[in-house]
Amino acid sequence: ELDTASVKSGVVESRSYHPEYTYTITTFIPAGDILIPQIHTHYVPESWTVTFRGKAKSGADRSRTVSVDRWRYDATEVGSQFNAD
């Protein structure tokens, strides 16, 4: 098992912004001889992630991706040092 969770700091390899979106799932409920559609719409808010590379507890070089808030995302540049704590 990779010990990526033990990587607490390292150099930023990439950062990603994921815009908000919605998606719809339709299921069908049987009612006698017919099927009644049930429509479920889900909202996923915008999010930001940072991927950095550092040393794990095992001593191995590992990458780890963490979710961050917008402020921290804006303040983080690729190639800079990042601390996940």
From residue 73, alpha-carbon distances to 4, 21, 76, 79 in Å are 20, 19, 5, 13
Say yes or no to pLDDT of 1 above 60: no
* Proportion of the chain above pLDDT 70, given as a percent: 98
From residue 31, give the alpha-carbon distance in Å to each of 25, 27, 39.
Answer: 19, 13, 16
2 pLDDT above the threshold of 80: no
Instruction: For residue 78, give both structure tokens.
Output: 């690729």
Say how far apart CA 29 and CA 11 lie, in whole Å: 51
Contact in structure between 27 and 40 (CB atoms under 8 Å): yes
pLDDT of residue 52: 96
